[in-house]
Structure 1
Amino acid sequence: MEHGCTVEELASRPTLMTVTNVNSPRRVDAEILDNIMVMAGHGQCVVITPFTLMGAMAPVTLAGALAQQTAEGLGIIALCQLLRPGAPCVLGGFTSNVDMRSGSPAFGTPEYLHAVFASAQIGRRLRIPVRTSAVNASPTVDAQSTYESAFSLQAAVLSHSHLINHAAGWLEGGLSASLEKIVVDAELLRNWAEILKPVSFSDDDLAVDAIKAVAAGGHFFGSPHTLARYQTAFYRPLLSDWSSFESWTQAGAHDATARATAIWKKVLADYVPPPLDPAVSEAIAAYVATRKGALEGTSPA
């Protein structure tokens, strides 16, 4: 009723999405199955993601893990269609490898990228949308977390996957999150948004007249063509520091993680909550307290 329509009318315009996991191999927990059935029965989107870690919950070979992932995902999609034909579904891909020395999940690895590319191809063959992630297994915000996330995000984009989960803030294979990592990932996402913009090759962009106007061995800093465009010509980073080592040192030698800390603190300090009816705010707080108490097995004070 919050949407101003009946349950049946809501099914005609899916608004909600749930991301569910198969407890691989070949098991769906009762709570998750109940969630799937309720959402599909009401015509809302179900994202089915088998948790197929190669060598642990799936075969150690990529082909075997992909076969299992596809079978488990299609099994749940078939259930959704039995419950409500046409219920929207997304085939999730989360196949990756584990560290065979410790059993810990690994993400952003070559094996993970192979799985992302293959999962997207399988989805296109089946004409089903595909979900992937921008993940890493680093325990902290460092070079490892950045390059693993960058590889994962690159695979998500280049594979033409439809939905990217865990696109910002993920650490330690999903066991923790970080505000600094959110800022780092925001920089990665902003870069990709810029990369994916089409490049213009108009006569003005080809700049033949500007090239002719600059003498051999000269420069374009003072060119009218440059001066008319320099403020918007290039991507302006949120986090990157392009200064020299000397200038960077004199400014305090703040690395990317330290700069990310400063950014999120400023964002929170400058945040102004949108106006909200006090009665609505109280109702939300009461609902949260009730649900929290139910989940913890206690009654709200």
Structure 2
Amino acid sequence: MPIRGLKGGMLKFLKGEDLDSIHYGTLEVLSEVGIKMEYKPALEIFRSFGAEVDFANSVVKIDEHLLKKALSTAPSRFTLHGKNENFDVKVDPERVYTIGGSSALNVLDLEGNYRPAVFDDLIKFTILLDKLEHLHIMHAIVIPSDLEEYGVDRMLFAGTFPYTTRNYYSQSQTGADGVQDQIKMAAVVQGSEDAVRKNPMFTEVVCMVSPLQHEKINSEVLIEAAKNRIPVYVEVDSMPGGTTQAPIAGTLVEQNVNVLAGIVLAQLVNPGTPCIYSIASGLMDMTTGSYAGAAPETNLLHCATAQVAHYYNLPFQGGTGIDAKIPDAQAGYERAMQVLSNALAGTNFIHLSFGMMEMMLTACYEQCVIDNEIMGAAFRMLKGVEVNDDTLSVNLLRKVGPKSANFLTFKETSEYVRKNNWVPQITNRETWSAWKAAGGKSMQEAAADVARKILSENTEPAISKEQTEEILKMAKSFHAKAVQKLKNESV
């Protein structure tokens, strides 16, 4: 059976009138201020649909009519395909899923070393994450330091896509050519480029710039993805007080303008293109100037943005990495607050939810396992309390009556517990003496044991070795061409 997710959305910080106010503020900015788009073909597309375009300043203004028309074709329900249907993700604005970490430059490895990430780490992290039950969408968790940076998305594809059963969250760093290269590599597994376009096993993400800017490469990728019906995470990464207004409400308006403009463009290019309303925004810590991804204000922003996205009946991706440097108490409380609040708020894709630390700069093997544990507990909370004749158990209570009794002896107890109670993997609930007798391991040590076991028992890709080698060969060639193209353009 495909992955269907659990329903979220119980937690709401915004009232209906708040959402209306954000919408009207968005309309005002879209129609009167506009969005800067550096890619001329994007401006021409908007002009062809009647939008007001200032080519001299690369600004497009979108009125309410065009916004509504475009959003009416953006699907709220679609499927993100895995390597087989068991890992297909059924998307709708009610269900909650997770996405792995992304683009860390450093690694905290299983020997405790803090060092730059390398390509082998990318493969190992992917294998580890693919064996964690609460990971639904795979992303390239690190950017290897042993590879040329420009065009590295091709090598990220080769180090991730073959080693995961999940849908792969990709990102072209060079424009339309990156999307085309990724389609060709996916076709090695799917049989043809047409098969990829019909049921793509990967998605693209484009990251807009605050305030109110779409860079050339992002518009180019968005248009190419839409042409090929590749689902797109349309993302903005705002910093309240830095790149957007300090009030959360103001940032909600800026984000909304930026993301909706991208979704409108995708729908104008190819109506029905699956788009996910996305943010990776985070508070600017005014004492350090750094990105505070685990701040309570950041969690509030993401939970509120879920409501804004759902106002337009669009699925939403939110969530950020944590700020802790090691898997300690800070890491635990930051991840738990972030995951639980986003899940309850109905964030459909909780991004960067596995292994990301140090303001998204570092990936940690043990933290991946710990985060899977936290995710399991959060998902049990999402299931809520079921009330029916069986769970009320009035007849059982009547049968026992007002006397001492041990409900452990009843079959109803064992049946309920097996079906409903969450069973932790590395959380210890024993007494001190029992814990010490078993080795007295910390959660980090227990997580390291799990990670080592998974990596020792799983070394093969999720596809054939021949397909894996072919994709790697193609990726190296595509990467080299991208680097050479950059050098030629620099001359």
TM range (shorter): 0.7 to 0.9
Name the structure 1 match of 2:380: 194
- Match of 1:94? 280
Equivalent runs, 1:134-173 vs 2, <5 Å = 134-173=320-359
- Name structure 2 gaps, 5 residues minimum: 1-183, 486-491
CA distance in 1, matches of 2:472, 2:381: 42
SS in 2 for 1:140: coil
What is the distance in 1 between the residues matched to 2:417 and 2:263?
51
Looking at structure 2, the residues matched to 232 and 89 of structure 1 have their Cα atoms a distance apart, in angstroms, of 35
Correspondence for 2:309 among 102, 123, 143: 123
- TM-score normalised per structure 2: 0.54
The unaligned stretches of length 5 or more in structure 1 are none
- The equivalent residue for 1:248 is 435
Aligned equivalent of 2:476, options 278, 284, 289: 289
- Partner of 2:324, secondary structure, is coil
Pair 52,198 (structure 1): closer, same or farther in 2 beyond 3 Å? closer
Matched residue SS, 2:294: coil
Q: Mapping of 1:212-251 within 5 angstroms?
A: 212-213=399-400, 216-226=403-413, 234-251=421-438
- Partners of 1:37 and 1:276 lie apart in 2 by 30
Output the amino acid matched with 1:34.
Answer: E
Q: Does 1:263 align with 2:450?
A: yes
| Mean Cα deviation higher: 215-224 or 44-53 | 215-224
Q: In the alignment, which residue of structure 2 is the partner of 1:85? A: 271
Q: After superposition, what is the alpha-carbon deviation per residue over 1:12-66, rounded to whole angstroms, capped at 9, x for unaligned?
A: 6555311221122233333333222211222221111111111111111112211
Q: How far is 1:110 from its partner? A: 2.0
* SS of alignment partner, residue 218 of structure 2: helix
Aligned-partner residue type, residue 276 of structure 2: V
Sort the Cα spacing of 1:101 and 1:272 in 2 relative to 1 into closer, same or farther, 3 A.
Answer: closer
Residues 199-239 of structure 1: CA distance to partner in whole angstroms, max 9, x if unpaired?
A: 55555544445544487344334445446666666321011
Root-mean-square deviation (CA, aligned residues, Å) is 2.9
Q: How many residues are aligned here?
A: 297
Q: Structure 1 residues 160 and 285 mapped into 2: Cα distance closer, same or farther (>3 Å)?
A: same
Hey, what's the Cα distance between the residues in 1 that align with 2:262 and 2:239? 19
> Aligned with 1:196: secondary structure?
helix
Q: Which amino acid aligns with 1:164?
A: I
Q: Is the 8 A contact 1:58 1:65 kept in 2?
A: yes
Counterpart residue type for residue 377 of structure 2: N
Against the structure 1 CA distance between its residues 294 and 139, is the aligned structure 2 distance closer, same or farther, given a 3 Å change threshold? Answer: farther
Contact 2:227/2:270 (CA < 8 Å) preserved in 1? yes
Q: CA deviation at 1:128?
A: 2.1
Distance 1:102 1:90 in 2: 32
Letter in 2 for 1:141: P
CA deviation map 1:64-90 (0-9, x unaligned): 211111111112122222222232212
Amino acid at match of 2:440: A
Structure 2 Cα separation of the partners of residues 95 and 242 of structure 1: 36
Partner of 1:52: 238
The one-letter code of the counterpart of 1:139 is: K
Alpha carbons of structure 1 residues 11 and 244: separation in structure 2 relative to 1, 3 Å: same
User: In the TM superposition, what are the counterparts of 1:7-86 in structure 2 within 5 Å?
Assistant: 7=194, 13=199, 15-86=201-272
Structure 1's 239 and 111: CA in aligned 2 closer, same or farther, altered over 3 A? same
**Identity over the aligned pairs, expressed in percent?**
23
* Higher RCO (C-alpha 8 Å, min separation 6): 2
Closer, same or farther: CA 22–223 of 1 in aligned 2, 3 Å? same
